[in-house]
Amino acid sequence: MTDTVVCISENEKSLADLINEYRTTHGLQPVTLSASLTEVAQLHVRDLIEKKPYDENGKCNMHSWSKGEKWSGCCYNSGDDGDCMWNKPREINSYQGDGYEIVMAQFNSQFPDKEVSALDALNSWKKSPRHNAVLLNKEIWKSTEYKAMGVGIYKGFAAVWLGEELDFQGEPNVCSN
């Protein structure tokens, strides 16, 4: 069982809805929102802002993590084997499957705390062939059947985690203000 109560913001809910709309317009099934993968996504976007485990040179990209209370730290780059990313759900909570992440950043020097919009995040991923392939089950992802999705948005970062296992923790609620 996840140790924390997970809820999503209206913006995060909008991102999940937009992704599912995008998938269904391409003949794919929508993906059920997952409390466990949402916890992972929300922790990761905060980690990216607060600890900055990535570097500007690209040695450690935005799939990297600092060492946390519930998870191991790692420097991830596209040449790595993926365990750095795939194992995070099992390290953080009871989700048993691998997790696959897409992440984006939108920096605004005038408004550094401005939250990225759901639509801007989705449009960024649609323009990136690799991220778009993950969302639409293309290329190496074509035989993958996503059964769970988590979303996290914090300031200029947005992350989506996808998994092939059902999440027995259910769906997160929308946070009440």
State how beta strands 157-163 and 100-105 pair: antiparallel
The full set of domains in the chain, from first to last, is: 7-168 (3.40.33.10)
At 3, the pLDDT band (50, 70, 90 cuts) reads: low
pLDDT tens readout for residues 117-152: 999 999 999 999 999 999 999 999 999 999 999 999
Instruction: Tell me the pLDDT of the chain averaged across its residues.
Output: 93
The closest alpha carbon to 135, from 18, 1, 12, 35, belongs to 18
The packing angle between helices 10-25 and 118-127, to 10°, is 40
Beta-carbon contacts of 24 under 8 Å, excluding residues fewer than 6 positions away, are 30
Residue of 99, 108, 111, 109 whose CA lies nearest to 150: 99
Average pLDDT (151-162) is 98
Q: Report how far residue 39's alpha carbon sits from residue 61's, in angstroms, rounded to the nearest whole number.
A: 20
Per-residue model confidence (pLDDT) at position 113: 86
What is the distance between the alpha carbons of residues 157 and 153, in angstroms, rounded to a whole number? 6
β-pair partners for 153: 158
With CA atoms as reference, report the closest residue to 38 among 167, 176, 177.
167
Tens of pLDDT, residue by residue over 8-67, are 999 999 999 999 999 999 999 999 999 999 999 999 999 999 999 998 777 899 999 999
pTM of the complete model: 0.94
Please check whether residue 48 is in contact with residue 158, taking contact to mean a CB–CB distance below 8 angstroms.
no
- Please state the separation of Cα 148 from the chain's center in Å: 11
Q: How confident is the model at residue 2 (pLDDT cuts 50, 70, 90)?
A: very low
